[in-house]
Amino acid sequence: MIRDITIGQYYPADSILHRLDPRLKLNGTLIFIISIFLFNTFYGYIAVTIFLASIIKMSKVPFKFIARGLKAIIVILLFTMTFNLFLTPGDVLLQVGFLKITRQGLHSALFMGIRLTYLILGSSLMTFTTTPNQLTDGLERLLWPLRRIKVPVHEIAMMMSIALRFIPILLEETDKIMKAQMARGADFESGGIIKRAKGLVPLLVPLFVSAFRRANDLAMAMEARCYRGGEGRTKMKPLRYEGRDGLAYIVLLAYLAVVIVISIFEDRLPVIL
Amino acid sequence: MINLQIVFDNINYVYSSGTAFEQYALKDINLKISKGEFIGLIGHTGSGKSTLIQHMNGLIKASSGGIYYEGQNIYDSNYSMRELRSKVGLVFQYPEHQLFETTVFKDVCFGPKNLGLDKLEVELRAYEALKMVGIGEDLLDASPFELSGGQKRRVAIAGILAMRPEVLILDEPTAGLDPMGRDEILGQVANLHKEKGLTVILVTHSMEDVAKYVDRILVMNKGNLVMDQETRKVFARYKELEEMYLAAPQVTYITNELKAKGLDINTDATTVAEAKEDILKYINN
């Protein structure tokens, strides 16, 4: 039952996006997120939408799948939009009782909504097209220079990949332990908060013990294969930029340039909303 | 009819029903288990053994079909799953992984406590159960994590026995134990079967264990119950078993090999003791 939870879902497919270097995708996501907050008018919105739509199309990930990520923030989204809609002062368009909708409110709500939506869509697209291990590799390479100021980049990356690797294993273990305790009459479902919290002890203690045991075994196994930390350690599949990555960077920078230009000049353009 | 303890009526269990990934873990299982039987459940990895036994105590709900415990439909809305789980004890593989309490005694008390019994009854049952599995009194206040592997396992089994089940299902109880440990555990289970009349279902990969203790064998293959007969009859079909990536006890092969070489010998034997008898009988004639 717990096995239905997937974290940072990766959608396997063979697309250009899947084949791009993870560093590029990490940087690209950052650039995209910045770009969402640069524009303030309809024109900027068009540029960003075109970009996002083409990226989505290129990823070969079905839109229904991507849209699922929005389900999680639907509450926040509606909340934010409603607040902005009714509480922004300005030229009143509609008034119902003491609730007033202003033009600025409409603008604000709409753009906030779009920004949030695009934020989720853009970042999930990254996790959909990049495996967790690729992500950690990319992050490790990008943060590598931080080693000069004693940031343990390698160790952090190693911890991340091990943690990711063990998520499904520990979830399965949780399932097994739950069932074993249920076979002894344990009840994980009924009762108030305190009762249920107490009821988690027979689940958490064995789980922790198991996790520590596995960590111990893993450490020994790694040592037995001569792991001594990041010093002088090489990779079997080092990240290497390909031609398509260079092209992608150019496209990204061009896109950023367009959005910046629009954001500078959009005040001079006729206002639509 | 009154003797029938567990009945499976056309049980099916499907994963991802209705999607492209639909998979039958259990298909058309029909099964009747009587009180006091000692049954072996064998099958290749992934054949559905674990799924099957988890249906017996209601941990998993069948996709279709009915399960009856002592004549009552366990899927009835009035039926208490809690009660079922106190009557049908299920010991998972590597049961020592479920130990969590601060002392051995407290851990064994967990089961009966969940049944809502009063303190005296809970402790009585815990004492009893620990005695049954041969855990000495000196260990009662020890932390379960201080015990050896074999001891931990026995404590875990005691944890289920303390619930006074009428049926005891053991999923590979001897996994990871040395030969002496294996004999100890199975010996104790056999004793419980004899002395308390417990119905026992033993899931195992060891054909020798099955041959030694079990009267009837259920063979699972790819979600189907393909054989349901007395021990001897199942092992006689060893060629079919091989096709399912299973085997018969070593003695079966030896006696059959001898017969093939011309010795007019009984090939019924499933244990070394029996084979020895048969071979001696042949030699003395």
Query: Which pLDDT value is given to residue A8?
Result: 59
Examine the predicted complex and report whether its ipTM is higher than 0.90: no
Q: Using a CB–CB cutoff of 8 Å, tell me whether A201 touches chain B.
A: yes
Min distance B112 CA to chain A CA atoms (Å): 8
Judgement on whether residues A163 and A35 belong to the same structural domain of the protein: no
Task: Encode pLDDT of B61-84 as tens digits.
Answer: 999 999 999 988 999 888 888 889
A182: closest chain B residue by CA: B59
Q: What is the CA radius of gyration of chain A?
A: 24
* Cβ–Cβ contact A176 with B under 8 A: yes
Contact check, Cβ <8 Å, A180/B95 = yes
Q: How far apart are CA A80 and CA B1, in angstroms?
A: 65
Q: Do A38 and A117 fall within a single domain?
A: yes
The pLDDT assigned to B200 comes to 95
CB pairs under 8 A between A and B: 56
| Cβ contact A20:A244 at 8 Å | yes
pLDDT of residue A273: 61
Asked whether residue A203 falls in the same domain as residue A107, the answer is no
Query: Is A138 part of any domain?
Result: no
CA A45 to chain centre: 22
Residue A57 sits in the same domain as residue A171: no
Listed in sequence order, the residues at least 6 apart from B26 whose beta carbon sits closer than 8 Å to its beta carbon are B11, B12, B13, B48, B51, B52, B55, B62, B223
Question: In a structure prediction context, what are the per-residue pLDDT tens digits for chain A, which is 273 residues long?
Answer: 344 444 457 888 888 899 999 999 999 999 999 988 887 778 888 888 999 999 999 888 888 878 777 777 788 888 888 888 887 777 777 777 777 777 778 888 888 888 888 988 888 888 889 988 888 889 899 998 998 898 899 898 889 888 888 888 898 899 999 999 999 988 888 778 888 888 899 999 999 999 999 999 999 999 999 998 887 888 888 889 989 999 999 999 999 998 888 888 877 777 766
Q: What is the pLDDT of residues B144-156, one digit of tens each?
A: 999 988 889 999 9
For residue B130, which of B118, B117, B144, B114 has the smallest C-alpha distance? B144
Per-residue pLDDT, B19: 66
The chain A residue lying nearest B164, using CA atoms, is: A184
* pLDDT value for B2: 55
- Answer whether B85 sits within 8 Å of A181, measured CB to CB: no
Cα separation of A15 and A35, whole Å? 24
Ramachandran category for residue B64: left, alpha or beta (phi over 0 → left; psi -120 to 50 → alpha): beta
Distance from CA of A209 to the nearest CA of B (A): 8
Span B146-204, pLDDT tens digits: 998 888 999 999 999 999 999 999 999 998 888 888 888 898 899 989 998 999 999 99
CB within 8 Å: B85 and A182: yes
- Is residue A28 within a helix (H) or strand (E), and if so which, with residue range? helix A22-36
B30 pLDDT band, cuts 50/70/90, is very high
- A194-220 burial, b at 16+ Cβ within 10 Å, e below that, comes to eeeeebeebbebbbebbeeeeeeeeee
**Residues A258 and A123 reside in one and the same domain:** yes
Q: With 0.80 as the threshold, say if the pTM is over it.
A: no
Strands B167-171 and B64-69: unpaired
Same-domain status, A100 and A177: no
pLDDT attached to residue A182: 92
Which of B57, B85, B96, B98 should we substitute to test contact with A (largest number of A Cβ atoms within 10 Å)? Answer: B98
Query: Could you tell me if A6 and A99 lie in one domain?
Result: yes
Instruction: Give a yes or no: residue A233 inside a domain.
Output: no
Q: Domain for residue A273, yes or no?
A: no
Chain B CB contacts of A202 under 8 Å are 98, 100, 110
Q: Measured in whole angstroms, how far is the alpha carbon of residue A164 from the centre of its chain?
A: 14
Q: Do residue A13 and residue A87 come from a single domain?
A: yes
Compute the nearest-CA separation of B90 from chain A (Å): 6
Residue B265 phi, psi dihedral angles, 5° rounding: -120, 150
Cβ separation of A183 and B86 shorter than 8 Å? no
Contact between chains at B99 and A206 (C-beta distance less than 8 A): yes
* Domain total in chain A: 2
Q: Which of A178, A184, A201 to mutate to test the interface with B (most CBs of B within 10 A)?
A: A184
d(CA A230, CA A141): 12
The answer on pLDDT for B108 being more than 90 is: yes
In a shared domain, residues A159 and A210: yes
- For residues A17 and A71, membership in a common domain is answered with yes
> pLDDT: is B266 or A5 the higher one?
B266
Chain A contact set for B160 (CB, 8 A)? 183-184
Question: Residue A109 sits in which domain range?
Answer: 2-130+241-268
**Mean of all residue pLDDT scores within chain B:** 89
